C-alpha cells in the first residue's frame, strides 16, 4: 500500500468526520433539593449501557459537557463551549449543523405513575428562581435579556421538529413523553432561552431544545438511557429527512 494511498485515505476520513453534524449535549449536577442529578449520571456513566455507548451508531459528532447550576455559570460555560464565530471579511463556508440539547431534571414530578419525559419547545424571558442557584443568586421577576424589554411573557421557541418527534416516541413510550411549553423559570429555562437567543442573533442554523427527565425513583436509569438514545435517533432521522 503506497504512502500516497494511505495519506489520501486518512485525509478523506478526516474530512468525513469534519462534515458530520455536531451535537452538543449538556447536563447539570446537584442543586438545592436535588443532591443526585440524574442527567449527570446518564451522561457520565461508562460501559456498554451508557448513553454515550448507545449513541455510537448515529453518524454525528457528540460532545458532552456539565453546566453549573447558576445563570452566570451557564453563561460563562456556554461561551467557552460554543464561542461565537470569528469576524471575517471573507465568505465562510456554511457551518456544520449544530444541535444543542440541554438535559435537566424536573423535580416537580411527584408520582411514578405520572412521570414524564418533557420535550421543552419554549423558553421565557423571565428569571424567577424559587430557590437560590448554586452561586446564591435568586432573581425574581426580571428579564433574561433586557434588550428585549420587560415583557416577562415573551418567549422564544425551538425550531426542532419536537411535535413529530413526540408522535414517533409515543409509539414506543406511550404517554410517558410530552411536548411542553413551560420549562419553569429556574436555570433550565434560563439556559434554553439563552441558547435560543444566541441562535436568533447569530444565525447559522443552530437549533436547540431542552429535555426534562424525572428522577430515577420514578423511571430508572436504564430506561432513561434507552429513552434518550431513542430521542436522539428520532431527532437525527427527522433532521436528516429535512435536508
pLDDT, residue 104, reads 98
pLDDT, residue 11, reads 39
Higher pLDDT, 128 or 8: 128
Q: Lowest-pLDDT range, 114-118, 181-185, 201-205, 206-210?
A: 201-205
In this model, does residue 12 exceed pLDDT 50?
no
Q: Is 206 a catalytic residue?
A: no
| Full set of structural domains in the chain with CATH | 19-83+95-242 (3.40.630.20)
Task: Indicate whether this model's pTM tops 0.85.
Answer: yes
**Annotated catalytic residue, options 126, 206, 209, 212:** 212
Residues 23/61, Cβ–Cβ less than 8 Å = yes
Mean pLDDT (the chain) is 89
Q: Alpha helices of the chain — where are they, by DSSP H? A: 3-18, 38-44, 51-54, 71-81, 162-173, 187-202, 221-242
**Annotated catalytic residue, options 82, 102, 120, 209:** 120
Question: How far is it, in rounded angstroms, from Cα 187 to Cα 103?
Answer: 11
| pLDDT per residue as tens digits for the range 55-89 | 999 999 999 999 999 999 999 999 988 777 666 66
Q: Is 166 a catalytic residue?
A: no
How many angstroms from the chain centroid is the CA of residue 61?
A: 14
Q: Is 212 a catalytic residue?
A: yes
Cell of 44: 457520565
Cβ-proximal residues to 153 (8 Å cutoff; 6+ apart), any chain: 124, 126
| pLDDT per residue as tens digits for the range 141-157 | 999 999 998 889 999 99
**Annotated catalytic residue, options 102, 188, 206, 215:** 188
In this model, does residue 5 exceed pLDDT 80?
no
In this model, does residue 90 exceed pLDDT 70?
no
| pLDDT per residue as tens digits for the range 163-174 | 999 999 999 999
Residues 21/96, Cβ–Cβ less than 8 Å = yes
Amino acid at each position: 500500500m503506497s504512502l500516497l494511498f494511505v495519506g489520501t485515505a486518512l485525509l478523506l476520513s478526516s474530512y468525513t468526520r469534519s462534515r458530520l453534524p455536531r451535537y452538543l449535549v449538556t447536563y447539570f449536577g446537584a442543586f438545592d433539593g436535588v443532591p443526585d442529578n440524574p442527567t449527570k449520571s446518564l451522561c457520565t456513566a461508562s460501559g456498554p449501557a451508557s448513553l454515550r455507548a448507545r449513541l455510537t451508531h448515529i453518524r454525528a459528532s457528540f460532545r458532552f459537557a456539565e453546566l453549573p447550576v447558576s445563570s452566570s455559570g451557564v453563561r460563562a460555560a456556554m461561551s467557552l463551549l460554543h464561542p461565537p464565530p470569528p469576524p471575517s471579511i471573507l465568505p465562510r463556508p456554511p457551518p456544520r449543523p449544530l444541535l444543542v440539547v440541554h438535559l435537566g431534571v424536573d423535580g416537580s414530578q411527584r408520582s411514578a405513575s405520572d412521570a414524564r419525559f418533557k420535550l421543552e419547545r419554549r423558553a421565557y424571558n423571565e428569571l424567577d428562581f424559587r430557590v437560590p442557584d448554586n452561586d446564591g443568586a435568586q432573581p425574581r421577576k426580571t428579564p433574561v435579556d433586557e434588550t428585549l424589554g420587560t415583557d416577562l411573557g415573551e418567549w422564544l421557541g425551538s425550531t426542532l421538529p419536537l411535535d413529530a418527534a413526540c408522535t414517533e416516541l409515543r409509539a414506543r413510550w406511550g404517554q410517558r413523553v410530552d411536548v411542553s411549553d413551560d420549562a419553569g423559570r429556574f436555570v433550565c429555562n434560563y439556559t434554553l432561552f439563552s441558547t435560543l437567543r444566541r441562535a436568533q442573533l447569530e444565525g447559522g442554523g443552530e437549533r436547540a431544545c431542552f429535555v426534562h427527565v424525572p428522577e430515577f425513583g420514578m423511571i430508572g436509569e436504564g430506561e432513561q438511557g434507552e429513552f434518550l438514545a431513542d430521542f436522539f435517533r428520532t431527532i437525527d432521522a427527522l433532521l436528516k429527512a429535512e435536508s
